[in-house]
Structure 1
Amino acid sequence: MQPSAGPALPHTHSRAVHWITTALAVAALVGATALVQPADATPKAAARPATPSGPPVAAPNANAAHYPLTCAPGVKVDVVSHVSADLDGDGRPETAVVVRCDSETGTPPSGVYVLSAPAHPGGAPKIAVTLVDPKDDRQISDFRLDGDTVKATVLGFSSDDVARCCPDMKRTYTWEWRGDRYVALPGPAAGAV
């Protein structure tokens, strides 16, 4: 760069006071930017807490859910059994439930569902997943919770000729949350019940 012709202008000389003033202005701008955020902004660390804060969350009510069963007119859904725990590790309890159409005689097929919290306060719990579909014509016994896994004995029929009162096949199942879904872990198949 060539020197300018004529005398040096006073505003072209940088002094320590200029650098300090510039540094303070930049620091004030950075600080103000960090403090001013949109009203709906949340820090990333608070987006998914390890444990929920505040009072404990109640488990979904098994009797308040709507189940996809096709029962005869006037026949209600019977909640046979249910267990509640934080099954998927998200800090909120889920409820695993065995249901079937209520019957004075016979043994209608059972369904096993996992319920999660209602979409809005006061609403019905949501069915998060179906573990055993009633359409598969199964019956459930020994339904229980072991830590955060659901266990049951699933009873079935070797053929359509077997009376629905008397399942002749059984297998134990464990359902575990792995990653982003429930995984069914069947035990060995057994013959006659």
Structure 2
Amino acid sequence: MQQSAVPELAHTHTRPIHWVATATAVSAVVALSSLVQPGSATAAQPAPGTQVRSAPAAVAPPSTTGVAFPLQCGPVKAVVVKKTTGDLDGDGRPETVAVVHCNAPMGTPPDGVYVLTQGTDGGKARVVATLVDPKDRITVTDFALHARAVSATLLGYSSADVPSCCPDVKTPAKWQWNGSAFLRSTPAGAHSI
């Protein structure tokens, strides 16, 4: 075997001090990288005469706060118990669908389901449709919005003689905008209890 003409170098054998030095160097790089931030991004300017379209701004859904729901509650206030938002009519602006009832101290007050929209000027939200009228003595469960359709399970009564505690009719329902009104449908296979 031939011997190397170069004497052994100290750095060819790893020792604990080498690991400490490496760890210190890596720590210093990480610490400095958190202090140094990149400059602001710049984009190339479009060629003269080219129209630039910006992405549409996200539109906030209508708020239920301060909305006068068409609900007669007497001395108690109306309370929003469920709500969901989505673009129901395909115009690019979200609507809010709210389940509302009177905040009665006891019993189960009937629900109303209302669609809210906001004017194009960003004004106050307003009720544009009633999907369930509280006069019908309905309780709304399984409330959701999927694929631009509102769905719910409606618990009601077969007659005025049925006590309010014990609804005896269960009906699934779905509402979808047809361009001029919300049409209600009952999914196939629906039955009463």
Instruction: Indicate whether the TM-score tops 0.5.
Output: yes
Partner of 2:104 in structure 1? 103
Letter in 2 for 1:69: L
Displacement of 1:182: 1.1
Q: Please report the RMSD computed on the Cα atoms of aligned residues, expressed in angstroms.
A: 1.8
Partner of 2:115 in structure 1? 114
- Long gaps (5+) in structure 2: 1-53
Displacement of 1:67: 0.3
Partner of 2:72 in structure 1? 70
1:143 aligns with 2:143: yes
1-side partners of 2:115 and 2:166: how far apart? 27
Whether the aligned pair in 2 keeps the contact of 1:77 and 1:100 (CA below 8 Å) is yes
Whether the aligned pair in 2 keeps the contact of 1:77 and 1:101 (CA below 8 Å) is yes
Letter in 2 for 1:70: Q
Q: How does 1:71-90 map to 2 (within 5 A)?
A: 71-73=73-75, 75-90=76-91
SS in structure 2 opposite 1:135?
Answer: helix
1-side partners of 2:108 and 2:97: how far apart? 20
Distance change (3 Å), C-alpha of 1:53 and 1:127: farther
After superposition, the C-alpha distances for 1:30-72 in whole angstroms (9 at most, x for unaligned) are xxxxxxxxxxxxxxxxxxxxxx964211001123311011112
Partner of 1:57 in structure 2? 59
Aligned residues: 139
Whether the aligned pair in 2 keeps the contact of 1:119 and 1:126 (CA below 8 Å) is no
1-side partners of 2:151 and 2:133: how far apart? 16
Identical-residue share of aligned pairs (%): 45
Letter in 2 for 1:112: V
1-side partners of 2:150 and 2:82: how far apart? 12
TM-score, normalised with respect to structure 2: 0.67
Letter in 2 for 1:113: Y
Q: How does 1:1-193 map to 2 (within 5 A)?
A: 54-73=56-75, 75-118=76-119, 121-123=122-124, 125-187=125-187, 188-192=189-193
2-side partners of 1:119 and 1:161: how far apart? 46
2-side partners of 1:82 and 1:177: how far apart? 18
Letter in 2 for 1:130: T
Displacement of 1:122: 4.9
- Long gaps (5+) in structure 1: 1-51
TM-score, normalised with respect to structure 1: 0.67
Partner of 1:6 in structure 2? none
